[in-house]
Amino acid sequence: MLFLVSNDDGIHSPGLEALARALSSLGQVVVVAPDRERSAVGHALTLHRPLRMTRVREGWFAVDGTPTDCVHLGLHGLLAEPPTMVVAGINQGANLADDLTYSGTVAVALEGTLMGVPSFAVSVVAEAEFRFGAAAEAATRIARVMAERGVPPGTFLNVNVPSRDRFEDLRGVLVTRQGKRVYGSGVVRKKDPRGREYFWIGVRELGETQRTGDTDVEAVEEGFVSVTPVRTDLTDGDSLAELRGWPWTEG
């Protein structure tokens, strides 16, 4: 197999190293990752300036752009043939619930899927000590299963793994729904030494509104690997019939 691997933590992330090393047991790995941390940039694509790609070492390339840029350059500017799979991670921190909309890691898998390549993203869930052993092994297991079974077109997997050294330290794997978490205002407003206002955006988690027993948040809290299938089609199918009946042309 041929893997295109990227992330949003940057080319020097230990999680990226752990993922590439683990996947190399299954086939060839080509890494194209941002040259610095690009966390929370989402699915951003650079259109208004040229991009530069630098060879770091054999099979490893750094790009002065976003995670989505890296996938584009890897697929269309570097690899001579499409990869078997696009894999993102291992992210240092959870990508659960509403975090998916901000995540550059998830955007790597999203972009790979949009380009027609089976893809998944892997994140380690921890606040301080990130242990990548279990997540790396989970990634190889998931890659094997995906290669054997395939995934539906337009679907990628978002994987979150508790911070553990070994896969055996986990309780297993659960296929989950995307959960919902509530965040409070994290904006800090201050003045710099010259008297000019500045703002620092952060988040303060207030808790989870959904505890239905099958969410990604609950799975990792209970020591399981969470595997959430995510679709690239954002259409709200449940609302189509209702909205089609609205009086759009009246008045």
DSSP output for 31-46: EEEESS--TT-TT---
Expressed in percent and rounded to 5, the helix, strand and coil fractions of the chain are: 30, 30, 40
pLDDT tens for the 251 residues of the chain, in order: 999 999 999 999 999 999 999 999 999 999 999 999 999 899 999 999 999 999 999 999 999 999 999 999 999 999 999 999 999 999 999 999 988 999 999 999 999 999 999 999 999 999 789 999 999 999 999 999 999 999 999 999 999 999 999 999 999 999 999 998 766 667 888 999 999 999 888 766 656 666 788 999 999 999 999 999 999 999 999 999 999 999 998 86
Q: What is the pLDDT of residue 249?
A: 85
Q: Which pTM was predicted?
A: 0.92
Q: What is the pLDDT of residue 123?
A: 97
Q: What is the pLDDT of residue 233?
A: 95
CATH classification for the domain delimited by 2-180+211-244, as one of 3.40.1210.10, 3.30.70.3270, 3.60.15.10, 1.10.287.70: 3.40.1210.10
- Cβ–Cβ < 8 Å for 123, 95: yes
Our separate counts of H helices and E strands in the chain read: 6, 11
Q: How far apart are CA 158 and CA 119, in angstroms?
A: 9
Domain boundaries, the chain: 2-180+211-244
Q: Which residues pair with 207 in a beta bridge?
A: 182
Q: What is the pLDDT of residue 185?
A: 61
**Locus of tokens 């790995």:** 29
Q: Supply the DSSP string of 118-164, one letter for each residue.
A: -EEEEEEE-SS----HHHHHHHHHHHHHHHHH---TTEEEEEEEES-
- Cβ–Cβ < 8 Å for 109, 122: no
Residue whose C-alpha is closest to residue 223's, from 178, 182, 166, 158: 166
For residue 131, which amino acid is it?
A: R
CA angle, residues 164, 95, 223, in degrees to nearest 5: 35
Q: How far apart are CA 194 and CA 187, in angstroms?
A: 20
Question: How does DSSP classify residue 169?
Answer: G
Q: How many whole angstroms from its chain centre is CA 203?
A: 19
Residue whose C-alpha is closest to residue 115's, from 93, 86, 89, 88: 86
Q: What is the pLDDT of residue 181?
A: 75
Q: How far apart are CA 22 and CA 58, in angstroms?
A: 17
- Cβ–Cβ < 8 Å for 143, 127: no
Q: What is the pLDDT of residue 201?
A: 81
- Cβ–Cβ < 8 Å for 88, 106: yes
